Amino acid sequence: MRPPFDPTLYLVTDTGLCRPRSVADVVRAVVAAGVTAVQVRDKHASRRELLALTRTVQAAVVDHPGVAVVVNDAVDVAVLADADGVHVGQDDLPVEEVRALIGADRHLGLSVSSAAELDAALALPPGTVDLVGLSPVWETPVKPDAGPALGPARAATLATAARAGGLIAVAIGGITLDRAAEAAATGVDGICVVAAVCPEADPAGAARRLREEIVRGRLAQVAR
């Protein structure tokens, strides 16, 4: 039904943090260095600009067919760009409606920030949502309007429940290089990064180090 989606190291783009480089330039560098999926997010862009931005990101990953490109929030843009999927928040269009618009062959992610929101996601008809973003694990300057931090222990509990319900679970919010291993050790399928990659002088190097930390965190989890 849906193409495979590898959430191991999931980059969420921030146009401002990528400057002076373009988002596409940063994406091109990091997908060759271990980023497995890209979510195009730009809350300041018009839909017209977001469509153009999405297409530049799609072109940047064209040599990496396993790397999914997902559009944040803008369902119309995702369909027009023929993106691999959409990621929405609790205030965006309801996920049942989004699923109706994007059809069965696209990935759909949803941010959840509490057990109640996760329970609601798990109660949806199977196949509505593919992934939940546990958000925010830590406080983040990138999204100051995000709710209170879950912390890694609650994120681990939610990740277990999400995965038991057949959903992909990723952790997002405040995941720096220093915290990447701890985030991965919660048992999520992957971690989302924004500020740990976009503003880095060497984003490819940052992606490689993050991948190493993910391995370290997963090993630590298994060893527990």
Which residues sit at the interface with a copy of itself, rule CB under 8 A? 46-48, 51, 73-77, 79-80, 91-94, 97, 100-101
Least distance to a copy of itself from the beta carbon of 78, Å? 9
What gap in Å lies between CA 196 and CA 180, rounded to an integer?
Answer: 9
Q: Which is nearer to a copy of itself, 80 or 161 (CB)?
A: 80
Q: Which is nearer to a copy of itself, 108 or 184 (CB)?
A: 108
- Write the single-letter amino acid at 8: T
Q: Residue with structure tokens 């843009």?
A: 77
DSSP state of 206: H
Active site residue 114: no
Query: Is residue 132 a known part of a binding site?
Result: no
Active site residue 46: no
Element (H, E) at 54: helix 47-60
Least distance to a copy of itself from the beta carbon of 79, Å? 6
Least distance to a copy of itself from the beta carbon of 72, Å? 12
Active site residue 154: no
Least distance to a copy of itself from the beta carbon of 77, Å? 7
What gap in Å lies between CA 25 and CA 114, rounded to an integer?
Answer: 35
Q: Which is nearer to a copy of itself, 97 or 202 (CB)?
A: 97
Query: Is residue 72 a known part of a binding site?
Result: yes
What gap in Å lies between CA 205 and CA 210, rounded to an integer?
Answer: 9
Q: Report the relative pairing of strands 85-88 and 131-134 from DSSP bridges.
A: unpaired
Query: Is residue 63 a known part of a binding site?
Result: no
DSSP state of 126: T
- Write the single-letter amino acid at 16: G
Which two three-digit tokens encode residue 143? 């999204």
Residue 68, SS3? strand
Query: Is residue 6 a known part of a binding site?
Result: no
Which of these is catalytic: 28, 55, 143, 211? 143
Q: Which is nearer to a copy of itself, 71 or 183 (CB)?
A: 71
Query: Is residue 14 a known part of a binding site?
Result: no
What gap in Å lies between CA 139 and CA 146, rounded to an integer?
Answer: 8
Which of these is catalytic: 111, 113, 135, 211? 111
Binding residues, by number, are 39-43, 72-73, 92, 111, 143, 174
Q: Which residues are catalytic?
A: 41, 111, 143
